Amino acid sequence: MRLVAALILAGGAYTVFAPGLQAQDTPQLSSAAQEGKALFDVSCVSCHGRNAQGIEGRGPSLIGVGSASVEFQVGSGRMPLGRQEAQAERKPPVFNEDQTTQLGAYVQELGGGPQIPEHELRAGGNVAEGGELYRINCAACHGFGGGGGALSSGKFAPNLKPATDRQIYAAMLTGPQNMPVFGDNQIRPDQKADIIAFVQETLKHEQDPGGFFNLGRFGPSTEGLAIFLVGIVALVFTSLWIAGKS
Ligand code: HEC
Ligand code: HEC
């Protein structure tokens, strides 16, 4: 009797817990994530692998990169990558916004990771504070005017003009390629709003009050050099002209 009771108990316990274990192997995906998986299995598996675990020499693992990274990469047309090159370039996106969100949901549910918050990302952004933060954290690579700049080994920091609010936020949160990650401890979400406000409202509309030539916006050094050269040449020709007259 005891043996039978023990067996039934053990069997019962097994049937109660076993489905839980199986469920962990194949997590239940939400409907958006299932749509995303279908897209992923067509466009991304060749480089990122069956369960986004990555394929040596083709594409990195996407476990833990989060929907923020996917939205950035797919939304800016960098992914799906056409061919292997030093750096994935911005292209017209292949997927529409809904599909991008679905791909993001799939990768998010597979491995978690950073997500772009749903609220208005630029709300309450202070342009002056943003400018300060931009010059400290971003200008070294993206330039004072946001025009971008070259990095080593054929890589470059791109021009910030085409980026949307969500893409700027996602870039800071996920640090694509050679860009460092600016987590919420380093740059708080409200500071991120300041930076986005600065990039979108000041950098993109920056006019050149001095005239047509901004001389690369490198600042007073180039401007001083330019006026020195132009001024000297003008003076030389004026002297020659005066000398020729007299
Ligand atoms: C031809 C191969 C290829 C294809 C196809 C491709 N990727 Fe990638 N992917 C790469 C490589 C290589 C990198 C890393 C290099 C880089 O970031 O420039 C990468 C990087 C990424 C990253 C950034 C990972 C990180 O660490 O933050 C994401 C997200 C991503 N891919 C998503 C996708 C999605 C979604 C698709 C399908 C729509 C896709 N990729 C299709 C090759 C590919
Ligand atoms: C060490 C250099 C470096 C620094 C510092 C840096 N970035 Fe970047 N950034 C990059 C590189 C490299 C890329 C291109 C990544 C890619 O193509 O996968 C990039 C891409 C971006 C993009 C995407 C542009 C596009 O094509 O839409 C945005 C937006 C951006 N950075 C914003 C910022 C902001 C805001 C800061 C400061 C908080 C910052 N970056 C600091 C190197 C840097």
Domain-wise residue ranges, the chain:
31-111, 127-203
Q: What is the pLDDT of residue 27?
A: 65
Q: For residue 40, which atom of ligand 1 is closest to its CA?
A: 37
Q: What is the pLDDT of residue 198?
A: 93
Helices assigned H by DSSP within the chain: 2-25, 31-43, 45-48, 66-75, 97-111, 127-137, 139-142, 165-174, 189-197, 220-245
CATH match for 127-203 among 3.40.50.170, 1.10.1660.10, 1.10.760.10, 3.40.50.970: 1.10.760.10
Q: What is the pLDDT of residue 207?
A: 66
- Element holding 156 (H helix, E strand): strand 156-157
Query: Is 48 annotated to bind ligand?
Result: yes
Q: What is the pLDDT of residue 19?
A: 58
* Distance of alpha carbon 80 from alpha carbon 73, whole angstroms: 8
Which two three-digit tokens encode residue 112? 């978690």
Q: What is the pLDDT of residue 105?
A: 94
Q: Whose CA is nearest to atom 5 of ligand 2?
A: 138
Say if ligand 2 is within 6 A of residue 182 CB.
yes
Query: From the first residue on, what is the mean pLDDT of each consecutive set of 10 residues in the chain (246 residues)?
Result: 88 73 64 93 92 90 94 94 83 93 94 89 91 93 85 88 94 94 93 94 73 67 87 96 91
31-111: in CATH 1.10.760.10:
yes
Q: What is the pLDDT of residue 219?
A: 66
Judge whether 31-111 and 127-203 match in fold.
yes
Q: What is the pLDDT of residue 160?
A: 92
Q: Nearest bound ligand to CA 87?
A: 1
Q: What are 55's strand-pairing partners?
A: 59
* Distance of alpha carbon 105 from alpha carbon 74, whole angstroms: 13
